[in-house]
Amino acid sequence: MINTDYLKNLNSAQKEAVLHLDGPLLIVAGAGSGKTKVLTSRIAHIIKEKKAFPNQILSVTFTNKAAKEMQNRVSNILGSSAVGLSWMGTFHSICAKLLRKHASAANLNSNFTIIDTDDQIRLIKNICKAENIDTKQLAPRFILAVIDRWKNKGFYPLEVIVNNKDIYEKTILPIYKIYQQKLIDLNSCDFGDLILHTVKILEHNLDIRQIYSNNFKYILVDEYQDTNFIQSKWLNLLSEKNRNLCCVGDDDQSIYSWRGAEIKNFLEFDQVYENTKVIRLEENYRSSQNILSVASNLIANNQNRVGKTLTTTMEEGDLVKLNCFKNGKDEAIGVSDEIEKTLKKKYSFNNMAILVRAIFQTREFEERFLKIGMPYRILGGTKFYERAEIKDCVAYLRLVHQEKDDLAFERIVNNPKRSIGNTTLKTVHEFAKENNFSLEFASFKMIEQNLIKPKTKIGLSFFLNSLRKWRNDLIIKKISHIKLLQVVLDESGYSAMLKNKKDVDNENRLENIKELLSAMKEFDNLESFLEHVSLATSIDQEWDGEKVNMMTMHAAKGLEFDVVFLPGWEEGLFPHQKSIEEKGQNGLEEERRLAYVGITRAKKNAIISFSMNRFYQGDWIDSMASRFIDELPEKYLEKNSFFEDETQEVEDFDFNQDFEIEEGTRSPGWIRYQKRIK
């Protein structure tokens, strides 16, 4: 039995979006404006009004979780009438269903395999080996990222036009051709193929396209601002007959261009589809008015947007806090103090979040929380000292410190590659066990006795000699533990491996290592630092229970918390220097959208902060407040500065960067600011 109350709890804009059933519809749904309620109510209304049968409705989401939630909500409204909603799911799941029905049109059998990332990497590695392409210089993940980009643009290998200025594309295109043929030979496809093959089938087979464009009387799409070219093309083909395409999203929350999302799909929707009805959902049910006012004023600085103003019937709430700290360590202390002294009395840890621009920023907060025993979890990532590159660095330091550390030896003896394979390691293990030697000493003795193959001997000898040299640097030359790690990373080839290898994740790895160098400054010597790491990694890693959440702003999209901390609002970090350098104004606007997403995750309290100085890769750098801070409306802010000099009055602090500086290393943001004021 249908629950007819589904229209009663809708505001006027939501109701209009549900009732408007004829022609293309763009619903501009602001953060927390109830878009899922609108979508599910719209599906219910279509079925109740007998505009279409359940199997004539195509409903598309980006995640399985969102699809399941929508399915449950529709079922709660429609009861048994919801049976038959067979075309509700993600882009990939629906395309997989279509592709299995028409696999032969893509030279596949209907029982094709969908290969995962590990299988993709293995296949690329095999191709590179056969084609004599060095995967040390061109990482398989990077190759796959380029191939995926081409697929998102709708290109089979023969359709790709190589950018002659990009040396990597010239190398990768032949790999793409072989890779795609291998997939066909294996009766397999990757995730990109699911949509690409389906679109090509619909484009080149009018009879198949007509079956589905006739069948789908209504098409509904969630998070439309995150669609890429090929997804938009697919929707266009399927909606060409009935034109009842309803897309819901928020252009102000378009933050995924790095994974192929094209905001122009959203901005140009009414140009692509004639007679589009645009409805704005501007009433927010999540955040206080002060939080919304700050977010709205900030995002209004973007030029490329549809435009809307969020309002709420909720109380004004607390002012948004804007805190300035002397340095990053003080910022972490300030956040933990506010949680400990004030916020935990009102809210649970689970309802608090620290949202950072880059994942390396969690380190200082993790250090502080571990020190005071405050529980936390990392969402969408790994705890700092558990990250692979950090464990590699620590393993090098452990082995320099303690030559009998066999676990550390195993981890880094062939990292980077030194032609020391598993067979050699097994032989060394056996020799060490027989003679009661450490792995390092066993390796030395085996080389001495000529028990190691010549090629392996070169790499192993280099490694052992390096260890001796580094110990000498530490013990005889008495270099600092910070300098030691820098020397180790350079002389081992680890830094070069990360810098020279074209890999999509290497930039984050390098940032994490730089942050590790900063962390080491807190300790007097290598021994005390290693002890700290051991204690930090032994802490209970349980996911459940009451814990403060830490994550990137990208990972926070779609989530909400009572309290949100937004630290590190400094030029060069946020907006991120790389984003501006690579994408110019478009990059800046996406960074501002990311700030908007961050602020609108907060329901009750939003606390933004920045630091005047940061310790970065062994040096103090002068920071300057993010340009976004200048765009925040002062009447909705509570400004606070935290310095050791208690005589300084808060109101005397100038948030516009009018301060004296000392000589030292300058951040990218500082350099940019100097250019601006000249």
Query: Is the CB of residue 44 less than 8 Å from the CB of residue 75?
Result: no
Side chain identity, residue 370: L
Burial 633-664 (b: 16+ CB within 10 A, else e): eeebbebebbeeeeeeeeeebebebeeeeeee
Of 572, 653, 676, nearest to 322 by C-alpha is 653
Residue 253 bears catalytic tag: yes
Given 418, 509, 601, 603, the catalytic residue: 601
Strands (E), 205-276: 218-221, 245-249
Residue 411 bears catalytic tag: no
Show the tokens assigned to 238.
Answer: 């399927």
CB atoms within 10 A of CB 171: 18
Quote the DSSP letter at residue 6: G
Strand order in the sheet with 57-61: 88-90, 57-61, 218-221, 245-249, 25-29, 277-281
Q: Sign (positive/negative) of CA torsion 398, 401, 405, 406?
A: positive
Burial 396-430 (b: 16+ CB within 10 A, else e): bbbbbbebebbebbbbbbbbbebebeeebbebbee
Query: Is the CB of residue 6 less than 8 Å from the CB of residue 84?
Result: no
How far apart CA 67 and CA 126 sit, in angstroms, is 36
Query: Is the CB of residue 497 less than 8 Å from the CB of residue 506?
Result: no
How far apart CA 38 and CA 375 sit, in angstroms, is 37
Given 15, 16, 36, 562, the catalytic residue: 36
Quote the DSSP letter at residue 278: E
Residue 410 bears catalytic tag: no
How far apart CA 453 and CA 449 sit, in angstroms, is 11
Residue 666 bears catalytic tag: no
Show the tokens assigned to 265.
Answer: 């799909």
Given 253, 312, 456, 600, the catalytic residue: 253
Question: Is residue 600 packed enough to be buried (19+ CB in 10 Å), middle (13-18) or exposed (0-12)?
Answer: buried
Question: Can you tell me which residue has the tokens 């001796």?
Answer: 468
Of the CA atoms within 13 Å of residue 646, those in its CB half-sphere come to 0
Residue 63 bears catalytic tag: no
Residue 223 bears catalytic tag: yes
How far apart CA 165 and CA 158 sit, in angstroms, is 19
* Residue-by-residue DSSP string for 51-95: SS-GGGEEEEESSHHHHHHHHHHHHHHHGGGGTT-TTEEEHHHHH
Element holding 583 (H helix, E strand):
helix 577-599
Of the CA atoms within 13 Å of residue 102, those in its CB half-sphere come to 22
Given 193, 222, 389, 589, the catalytic residue: 222
User: Any idea which residues carry the catalytic annotation?
Assistant: 35-36, 222-223, 253, 601
